Amino acid sequence: MSFFNNYIYGSNEYLGRLYIIVSSLITFGLITLYSISSDPLSINSSFMRQIIFIIFSLIIFFIISQIDIKTIHDNSTLIYIFSFLLCFIPFFLPAVENTYRWIDLGFFYIQPGEYLKCATIILIAKYLSNHQLEVKESYIVIIPILIALLSSFLVLNQPDLGTAVIIFAPVLPMMLWAGVNGFTLFLLVAPLITIIAASNNMIFNIWGVLMFIIFLSFQGNFLKKIMIYFANIFAGLLFPFFWNDFLNGYQRQRFVDFLNPDLDPMGSSYHIIQSITAIGSGGLFGKGWGEGSQTQLKFLPVQESDFILSVIAEEFGFFGITLIMLLFFMLIKTLLDIAFRLSDYFSSLVIVGLTSILFSHIFINSAMTIGLMPVKGLPTPFVSAGGSFMLLCFIILSLVSNLSKN
């Protein structure tokens, strides 16, 4: 019976599986970094630095693993305030590449926004796991959204659009997990989709019909639903006017620049073109390890972090990409399995939140390399080079292993 209990509640087998997946991803990343470093064994190569970061992150992993879940639960507000204040430090330091995202620790840079992601999730999870909460009421979505808004507003000023978006990613899945009414969740997403769909007439029409069907299929006050529906349609119709006529060109440009200081600094779609060429030329089995001409001739920019998937695609082909996507899929699925089988509600919610962060990083980064999304400097978990993000991934891992102990 104890084995059965352990299997259902302890999730230890899931943890073991998780560690195997993470180790495979890290190994894959290191093999790729070795291939693109011109002198991999020198201490300054991204390969060696990555190894140092991993060792450092492992130490942090073991330290955090020692912290009791109850401590995390009871101090969630304190953790949040601390991470929030940490994000203010860069504003008092000299700007790094025109942004205030980084704290220079001498041997590597720390991005406090990364840790605010975790703190936001813990705080939201604490709120949602409160047993006095009436999850069926729609108003409970307000507090989590306000917390996420506060965090993302701060990082937006650094400015860091990528992190601001990522901070929002866990909100919906966590509320879904907590049992918030599906229609309420739909209402939250609908305006965003409306605005995006408004850029194209046909898409907007399809979306209008689709939205109408969804509105009808949910129960509730008919008049209220009709009003919200038309509010959405109007917002969508007005947005292009607002964007085109109300703001003049230079205001728009400034808005875009503000959100995206590192978007296309060379003034062309150079990054995307090179990335797609590298991926496409890889073919089914790739050009071989260290043989990717696009990569090795340094056509690909920031190949060790943002575009590492393009390197993998060029050198190991569709075969390699499928392998790594499979690993990512297993990673996320294992995390969801753990969250589903945990007995404690707070822990379960935190894990869902953390999983959403990892997933959105994976999705946005891959979508960017293949031209499905605009260029945004977001690394891939456990594979991309970079100390601060690697540390975040290990913190997430240690929280998961910690939370699934009970």
Partner 1 sequence: MLKIENKADIFHYRTLLFILSLSMITLLSRYFYLQVIEHDRYFSKSQVNSVKAQATYAPRGLILDRNGVVLVENYPTYILTVTPYELEDKDLQFEIISNITDISIEELSRRYKKYYQGRFLPTVIAKNLTFAEISQIEERRLELNGFQYKRFDERLYSDVLKDAHFLGYLRELDRQSLPFLDKSQLYRAGELIGWQGIEKQYEKELRYSKGMKYIEVDTYGREINSINDNNIPAFPGEDLTLSIDSKLQQFSKNLLLGQKGVILVSNVNNGDILSMVSNPSYNLDIYRGETTDSDWNALLSDKNKPIINRNIAGLYPPGSSFKIITALNLIEDGLLDPEDSLMCTGSYIPPGSSNTFNCWKEDGHGLVDLNKAIAQSCNVYFYETVQLIKLAEWTKTAKIFGFQNKTEIDLPNELIGQIPDKEFFIETYGRWGWSERGVLLNLTLGQGDILVTPLQSLRYINHIASKGKTAKLRLNAKKEIEYYDDILLSEQTWDRVIKGLYDVVNADGGSGWRAKQFEVKLYGKTSTAENPHGEPHAWFNGFFDFKNQTYSIVVLVENGGGGGAVASPIAGEIVKFFTDTNVDIVNK
Binding residues for partner 1, rule: CB under 8 A, are 38-39, 42, 44, 69-70, 73, 96-98, 129-131, 173, 176-179, 266-268, 270, 273-274, 276-284, 293-294, 296-299, 301, 313, 317-318, 321-322, 325, 328-329, 332-333, 336, 339-340, 342-348, 352, 359, 363, 366-367, 370, 372, 406
Q: Report in angstroms how near the CB of residue 318 gets to partner 1 at its nearest.
A: 4
Cβ at position 237, least distance to partner 1 in Å: 29
Instruction: Please state, in angstroms and rounded to a whole number, the distance separating the CA atoms of residues 239 and 223.
Output: 24
Distance CA 301, CA 296 (A): 11
Q: At its nearest, how many Å lie between partner 1 and the CB of residue 153?
A: 26
- Residue 230 CB, shortest distance to partner 1, in Å, is 28
Query: Would you say 131 or 224 has its CB closer to partner 1?
Result: 131
DSSP, collapsed to helix, strand or coil, labels residue 125 as helix
Q: Which is nearer to partner 1, 84 or 296 (by Cβ)? A: 296
Residues 6+ apart with CB under 8 A from 123: 76, 77, 79, 80, 147
The residue whose two tokens read 């041997």 is 107
Rounded to the nearest 10 degrees, the angle between the axes of helix 12-36 and helix 46-65 is 160
Short-list 259, 203, 288, CA closest to 374: 259
**Block residue for tokens 């989709």:** 193
Q: Which of 398, 389, 330 is nearest to 357 (CA)?
A: 389
In this complex, which beta carbon is closest to partner 1, that of residue 230 or of residue 329? 329
Fill in the amino acid letter for 370: I
Q: What is the rounded distance in angstroms from the CA atom of residue 115 to the CA atom of residue 164?
A: 12
The CB-of-85 to partner 1 minimum distance in angstroms stands at 26
Q: What b/e string do you get for 221-235 counting C-beta neighbours within 10 Å, with b at 16 or more?
A: eeeebeebbeebbee
Instruction: Kindly tell me which of 251 and 406 has the beta carbon lying closer to partner 1.
Output: 406
Minimum distance of partner 1 from residue 331's CB (angstroms): 10
Whether cis (ω within 30° of 0) applies to the bond prior to 159 is yes
Other CB atoms within a 10 A radius of the CB of residue 115 amount to 20
CB of 312 to partner 1, least distance (A): 10
Pick 236 or 381: Cβ nearer partner 1: 381
Q: Report d(CA 162, CA 111) in Å as an integer.
A: 12
The nearest distance, CB 240 to partner 1, in angstroms, is 27
Closer by beta carbon to partner 1, 16 or else 283: 283
If the CB atoms of residues 83 and 275 are measured against partner 1, the closer one turns out to be 275
Rounded to the nearest whole angstrom, what is the least distance from the CB of residue 284 to partner 1 in the complex? 6
Cα three-residue angle 200-205-206, rounded to 5 degrees: 100
Beta bridge partners of 96: 99
Within 8 A by CB and 6+ apart from 113, the residues are 87, 101, 155, 158, 160, 163
Nearer to partner 1, 244 or 322 (CB): 322
We find the least distance from the C-beta atom of residue 165 to partner 1, in angstroms, to be 15
Contacts of 136 (CB under 8 A, 6+ apart): 179, 181
Nearer to partner 1, 260 or 344 (CB): 344
| Cα–Cα distance, 301 to 28 (Å, whole number) | 20
Residue 69 or 235: the one with the smaller Cβ distance to partner 1 is: 69
